[in-house]
Amino acid sequence: MGIAAVSTLTPTQTVGPYFRIGLDWPDAWRLAPTGVGASRIVLRGRVLDGDGAAVPDAVVEIWQADSEGRYHASSADGFRGAGRCAVDTQGAYCFETIKPGAVTAPDGGRQTPHINLLVMARGLLQHLYTRVYFPADAALHAEDCVLACVPAARRATLVAREVSSELHFDIHLQGGHETVFFAL
- Within 10 A of 39 (CB to CB), how many other CB atoms are there? 12
Fold held by 15-172: Protocatechuate 3,4-Dioxygenase, subunit A (2.60.130)
Q: Is the pLDDT of residue 19 over 70?
A: no
CA atoms lying within 13 Å on the CB side of residue 161: 9
Residue 1 banded pLDDT, cuts 50, 70, 90:
very low
- pLDDT of the residue at 33: 77
Torsion, CA 68, CA 73, CA 75, CA 79, rounded to 10: 80
Q: For residue 72, is pLDDT > 50?
A: yes
pTM of the predicted structure, to 2 decimals: 0.84
Residue extents of the structural domains in the chain: 15-172
Condensed to tens digits (0 to 9), the pLDDT of residues 153-170 reads 999 999 999 999 999 999
HSE-up (13 A, CA, CB side) for residue 37: 4
How does strand 40-48 pair with strand 166-168? parallel
Nearest Cα residue to 55 out of 22, 20, 83, 87: 87
